[in-house]
């Protein structure tokens, strides 16, 4: 019997580093990505294609993609805010592009200076661009609904608004939608409610991923709730660094090590070797000695007898 595969998508090089003032040298980023891929992490979001004056920390994303593409079996993902970003992402050769669409229009205007309608237009232009690529080479294109569980500026977002945006993203030609708890507002019951509602609108296979923050400590609890409702990909950040600099009060992705430990212990197949993964922290702490790294499992260590005498 094989265990169910749950994909962990590492977003530290993007969501983590964009929240840190210090710029990690490209060579360290390369070592990080290579080491995490070696530990078995199947997908890594290596950066964002945004103007370097906005996020100088991610200015070398194209070079990092070029490096990561050479790692066999790794899905190399990147975030783009607009058509220009998508052009650059495609040129770099990424396997997956995600564009965030903030459910909070206030946040969207602050973050990318665009209304919902303007964002959907931009997304249609990106889809048209992708369609000019031979089908075999096309990157996967995801519309990620950010602030889906609430916004620090607007508060709670109505479910009908999320459904409307999810449908608009699929109609615009996205391959799938994702839900992002940019602000750490999600609760297990809200996750279940929203995942069920969105899946009912866009189809079970068109919402399979969640991007959850651990702002109020509910990150793994939200994962557990989502696992029972057909979510199979979870974003996480090594050492829990990261957040959204444009959403005040938002902080902290789920810690990759804790998520991998939980899933593995629950009998899911993540493809990740935990002991190898733990060692990757050293690459980050050596390069960014002033940045705190989080993680309960790295602090406490693996349980006695792990994994064979421990797993359920």
Of 75, 151, 174, 244, catalytic: 244
Segment lying near a second copy (by CB under 8 A), choices 4-12, 94-102, 120-128, 213-221: 213-221
105-164: contacts with a second copy (CB under 8 A): 150-156
| Least gap, CB of 127 to a second copy (angstroms) | 33
| Least gap, CB of 305 to a second copy (angstroms) | 4
Task: Tell whether residue 197 is a contact of a second copy (CB under 8 A).
Answer: no
Q: Are strands 96-102 and 7-10 parallel, antiparallel or unpaired?
A: unpaired
How many Cβ atoms from other residues are within 10 Å of residue 175's Cβ? 17
Task: Tell whether residue 203 is a contact of a second copy (CB under 8 A).
Answer: no
For a second copy, how many residues bind (rule: CB under 8 A)? 45
Give the residue with the Cβ less far from a second copy, 28 or 268.
Answer: 268
**70: which residues sit within 8 A by CB, 6+ positions away?**
none
Distance CA 163, CA 184 (A): 20
Question: What would the two tokens of residue 292 be?
Answer: 């705190």
Catalytic site includes residue 244 = yes
Task: Tell whether residue 221 is a contact of a second copy (CB under 8 A).
Answer: yes
Give the residue with the Cβ less far from a second copy, 67 or 107.
Answer: 107
Task: Tell whether residue 184 is a contact of a second copy (CB under 8 A).
Answer: yes
C-alpha count within 13 angstroms, C-beta hemisphere, residue 115: 2
| Least gap, CB of 277 to a second copy (angstroms) | 14
Task: Tell whether residue 212 is a contact of a second copy (CB under 8 A).
Answer: no
| Least gap, CB of 262 to a second copy (angstroms) | 6
Contacts for 294-300: CB closer than 8 Å, 24+ residues apart: 294/239, 294/240, 294/241, 294/252, 294/255, 295/239, 295/240, 295/255, 295/257, 295/258, 296/255, 296/258, 297/255, 297/257, 297/258, 297/261, 298/239, 298/255, 298/257
Distance CA 73, CA 79 (A): 20
Site string (236-265) toward a second copy, x via CB under 8 A: -------------x-x---x--x--xx--x
Task: Tell whether residue 304 is a contact of a second copy (CB under 8 A).
Answer: yes
| Least gap, CB of 241 to a second copy (angstroms) | 15
| Least gap, CB of 19 to a second copy (angstroms) | 15
Sole binder of a second copy in the list 19, 180, 183, 253 (CB under 8 A): 183
Binding positions for a second copy, rule: CB under 8 A: 150-156, 183-185, 187-190, 193, 214-218, 220-221, 223-225, 249, 251, 255, 258, 261-262, 265-267, 295-297, 300-301, 303-305, 309-310, 312
Residues tagged active-site: 244
């Amino acid at each position: 019997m094989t265990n169910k595969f749950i994909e962990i998508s590492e977003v530290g090089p993007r969501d983590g580093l964009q929240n840190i003032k210090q710029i990690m040298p490209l060579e360290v980023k390369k070592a990080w990505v290579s080491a995490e891929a070696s530990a078995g992490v199947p997908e890594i979001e290596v950066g964002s294609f945004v103007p370097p004056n906005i996020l100088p920390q991610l200015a070398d994303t194209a070079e990092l993609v070029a490096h990561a593409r050479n790692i066999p079996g790794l899905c190399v993902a990147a975030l783009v805010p607009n058509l220009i970003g998508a052009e650059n992402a495609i040129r770099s050769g990424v396997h997956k592009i995600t564009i965030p669409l903030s459910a909070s229009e206030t946040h969207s205007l602050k973050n990318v200076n665009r209304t919902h309608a303007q964002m959907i237009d931009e997304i249609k232009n990106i889809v048209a661009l992708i369609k000019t690529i031979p089908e075999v080479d096309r990157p996967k294109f995801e519309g990620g609904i950010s602030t889906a569980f609430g916004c620090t500026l607007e508060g709670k977002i109505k479910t009908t608004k999320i459904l409307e945006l999810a449908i608009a993203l699929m109609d615009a030609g996205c391959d799938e939608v994702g839900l992002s708890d940019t602000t750490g507002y999600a609760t297990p019951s809200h996750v279940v409610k929203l995942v069920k509602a969105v899946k009912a609108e866009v189809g079970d296979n068109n919402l399979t991923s969640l991007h959850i923050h651990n702002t109020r400590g509910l990150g793994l609890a939200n994962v557990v709730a989502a696992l029972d409702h057909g979510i199979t990909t979870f974003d996480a950040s090594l050492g829990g660094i990261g957040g959204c600099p444009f959403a005040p009060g938002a902080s902290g992705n789920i810690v990759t090590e804790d998520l991998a430990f939980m899933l593995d212990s629950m009998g899911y197949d993540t493809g990740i070797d935990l002991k190898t993964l733990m060692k990757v922290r050293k690459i980050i702490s050596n390069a960014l000695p002033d940045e705190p790294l989080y993680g309960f499992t790295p602090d406490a260590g693996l349980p006695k007898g792990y994994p064979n005498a421990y797993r359920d």
